[in-house]
Structure 1
Amino acid sequence: MDTTIRQQAELATAEIAEVAAIPLREPGTELVALEAAPAPVAEAIRKRMDELDMTNTQSIISFGSAAQAELQQISQAMLADVKNKDVGPAGDSLRGIVSTIRGFSVSELDVRRKRSWWEKLTGKAAPFSNFLAKFENVQSQIDKVTDDLLKHEHVLLKDIKSLDMLYEKTLDFYEELGLYISAGEAKLAELDATTIPAKEAAVAALPEDDKMIGSQELRDMRAARDDLERRVHDLKLTRQVTMQSLPSIRLVQENDKSLVTKINSTLVNTVPLWETQLAQAVTIQRSREAAEAVRDANDLTNELLTANAKNLREANAVVRTEMERGVFDIEAVRQANEDLVATINESLQIADEGKARRAEAEKELEHMEKELRETLASAKARDASSDAGASVPTA
């Protein structure tokens, strides 16, 4: 990692601690009625009651809207500057640096590893040279990502400060809404208890000709009173939503602070450790290669000595064995003799079997010849008897 980036990351540690130590006010939960309010609060409530003009509908509709003006300015300024904080780029940078390191496989240091068919086909470099090239690429990627992380850290710190301001203004708006609600409820109580009854009495005392106009004014006053009641209800809903937004702002701030702390820890501690480990991996591999070269030389010498001694032993055994053998092996002579005797015996047996078969054939021939003579003699006798019967005359 570049020295300048490291120094900037270390300097940001104090700023992170300062931002994290800023206390934030907690919102109140109860509305204070005009009668129970302290003098300064009561004066503020009466001041907001004076903003109401019950004869002006627009005055009732816009009642309390002035409290939101400053909050809108702060929100719009933040949106124009950063369009609301997005932790995506910073998170992407953190994931990118982790992916870069994970993609750096120390197993690729093994120079004895066989190249895959794809590596052979594409003509990729030897494992260790490829590793060194990848190490340089990883180093450049780490430098780039750390620079991006430092920028994200500054942006997040700025966002945290802006969120502090937004939180304060939102809390002021929340409290201001409470004053307007108290003022509206006080005004409603005044209308119900004093203004409307007085108007009713005044209308009742009017002559018949003027009662129609007076009754219309009374109806308008009651309608304005109902509009104010609805407006006060809307302000209560707005106050509730505003109160819910306060912990949301705090949560975003806490996430920002955690992310800034993580980025700073990565820049100050993790990245230098990764670089040290990668550098050690290269150095260790070089030492390993040298040791393996020495080991291979020693192994070759021992293999030659062992192979020569083994070959000498095997060759000597073959030579001495052949020297001690006769011209003919006794086993070969014995086998030849046995085969010869078996051949003579088989010849005699075959001759005896042939003689026996010839004798049987002669007997069979004599039998067939005798049988043939008997058959011919029987045929002649049958023919003579047939001729004698034919010569006798008929009666």
Structure 2
Amino acid sequence: MATEIQKKAQDTLALVEEVNAVVLPEPAEVNAIVPMSEAKGALSKEIKSRIAELDMSDTQSIVSFGSAAQAELQVISQSMLQGVRNKDVGPAGDSLRGIVTTIRGFSVSELDVRRERTWWEKLLGRAAPFAKFTAKFEQVQGQIDRITESLLDHEHTLLKDIKSLDMLYEKTLAFYDELALYIAAGEEKLHVLDTKDIPALEKKVEKAAEKDKVMRAQELRDLRAARDDLERRVHDLKLTRQVTMQSLPSIRLVQENDKSLVTKINSTLVNTVPLWETQLAQAVTIQRSAEAAAAVRDANDLTNELLTANAKNLRDSNKIIRQEMERGVFDIEAVKQANADLIGTIEESLQIADEGKAKRASAEIELKKMEAELRDTLAAAKARKTGTGDTAGTAVPQ
């Protein structure tokens, strides 16, 4: 791990100890809503000031009754959500995204990176194998530094979240207590309406002149409707207070988890990463030793192969050389065959000569015979005096 990153990890340790040392206040008793009749001193003044916020003739005043208590809480929540994307809030972000995409007309499945990819997307999606291929050739120290930097970023983010959760918890607790005051104020106002204002207005309706009776009756209906609106609003405030009460331990749980993660990350940076480096250094040495042993083994295998091959080649070549050395200039079989062929040639030559002599002698006899026959034939033709004999006879030698 780089010296700079190690120093950052050590410096962050003080912040981790600081956030772990913070003790958040516990909420008051769940049903600790003090009615106006039991409130004293400053509490009574607080309830009265909230009753003064109500204007029964203004519907907006009734609907927004108690909303001011949530202003600071909303500011903190908005600041925590600033820059956060749907993917960072898990299932809640998925639900929110589903609503938005439905409104916009998009298909959520088309935007979901966890869905099954199409054939074309699988064909083009070569990022993961390429990333693995690239990581194979990166320096180990650089990879460790990137991991530690990422862990430091997560640690700083979690530390900010823990401090934000501290403020959120405090403001939520204050909102919880503030809701008790608004509920007490609302119930007191309802009590006054039920016991004083509405009965008094009912008497006015009964005593009103005939021409004013309709107007007074309408005022009574409006007051009763406003009273019902206030009752519903107080009920909503009670529900909100209950939900707020439930969110307090949730905030604490998330915060404790974040603290545990921060502590674990810091321990990883300070203790585990140096151990990684030691183990990786050993792994490098072991790998190099294994590669050296493999090279020695390959060299020995090559030597054995050369020895075996050379011995076999020597044997084969020696056999050929010795055989050639022990042979004569001419093989007896070749001489014998040549001699037999020569004798056969001579005999064939003599035989052919004898046959030729005999054929010539026979041909000579035949020639003499044919000559005699020709001469006799010509002589006989001359004796007949046909005229052709003279001409023909002149061609025959005497």
Please tell me the TM-score bracket, short chain as reference: 0.5 to 0.7
CA distance in 2, matches of 1:212, 1:86: 60
Q: Corresponding residue for 2:12? A: 12
CA distance in 1, matches of 2:27, 2:193: 30
Q: Corresponding residue for 2:210? A: 208
CA distance in 2, matches of 1:291, 1:84: 54
Letter in 1 for 2:20: A
Q: Corresponding residue for 1:371? A: none
The RMSD of aligned alpha carbons is 3.0
Q: Corresponding residue for 1:196? A: 198
Which of 144, 147, 157 is the aligned partner of 1:145? 147
SS at match of 1:283: helix
Letter in 2 for 1:266: T
Q: Corresponding residue for 1:179? A: 181
Per-residue deviation at 1:60?
0.9
CA distance in 1, matches of 2:138, 2:27: 54
SS at match of 2:139: helix
Q: Corresponding residue for 1:167? A: 169
* 2:157 is equivalent to residue 155 of structure 1: yes
CA contact (8 A) 1:60 1:231 kept: yes
TM-score by length of 2: 0.59
Cα-to-partner distance string for 1:291-325 (whole Å, 9 max, x where unaligned): 99999999xxxx9xxxxxxxxxxxxxxxxxxxxxx
Report the CA distance shift for 1:207/1:273 in structure 2 as closer, same or farther (over 3 A).
Answer: same
> Which consecutive residues of structure 1, in runs of 5 or more, have no partner in the other structure?
89-132, 304-395
Identical positions, percent:
70
Per-residue deviation at 1:38?
3.2
Q: Corresponding residue for 2:45? A: 43
Report the CA distance shift for 1:233/1:297 in structure 2 as closer, same or farther (over 3 A).
Answer: closer
CA distance in 2, matches of 1:191, 1:32: 19
CA distance in 2, matches of 1:204, 1:293: 114
CA distance in 2, matches of 1:296, 1:57: 93
TM-score by length of 1: 0.59
Letter in 1 for 2:140: V
Q: Corresponding residue for 2:27? A: 27
Cα-to-partner distance string for 1:315-339 (whole Å, 9 max, x where unaligned): xxxxxxxxxxxxxxxxxxxxxxxxx
CA distance in 2, matches of 1:179, 1:153: 39
Aligned length: 259
CA distance in 1, matches of 2:214, 2:147: 80
Q: Corresponding residue for 1:250? A: 252
CA distance in 1, matches of 2:16, 2:191: 51
CA distance in 2, matches of 1:162, 1:237: 25
Q: Corresponding residue for 1:57? A: 59
1:290-369 to structure 2, matched below 5 A, reads none
SS at match of 1:163: helix
Q: Corresponding residue for 2:374? A: none
Cα-to-partner distance string for 1:152-194 (whole Å, 9 max, x where unaligned): 1111111111111111111111111111111000000111111
Q: Corresponding residue for 2:232? A: 230
Q: Corresponding residue for 2:277? A: 275
Per-residue deviation at 1:290?
7.5
CA contact (8 A) 1:85 1:159 kept: no
CA distance in 1, matches of 2:86, 2:10: 27
Report the CA distance shift for 1:181/1:71 in structure 2 as closer, same or farther (over 3 A).
Answer: same
CA distance in 1, matches of 2:72, 2:297: 78
Q: Corresponding residue for 2:68? A: 66
> Which consecutive residues of structure 2, in runs of 5 or more, have no partner in the other structure?
91-134, 305-398
Per-residue deviation at 1:14?
1.4
CA distance in 2, matches of 1:84, 1:171: 27
CA distance in 2, matches of 1:269, 1:43: 57
Letter in 2 for 1:9: A
Per-residue deviation at 1:225?
0.8
Per-residue deviation at 1:73?
1.3
Cα-to-partner distance string for 1:59-81 (whole Å, 9 max, x where unaligned): 11111111112211111111115
Per-residue deviation at 1:83?
5.4
Letter in 2 for 1:189: H
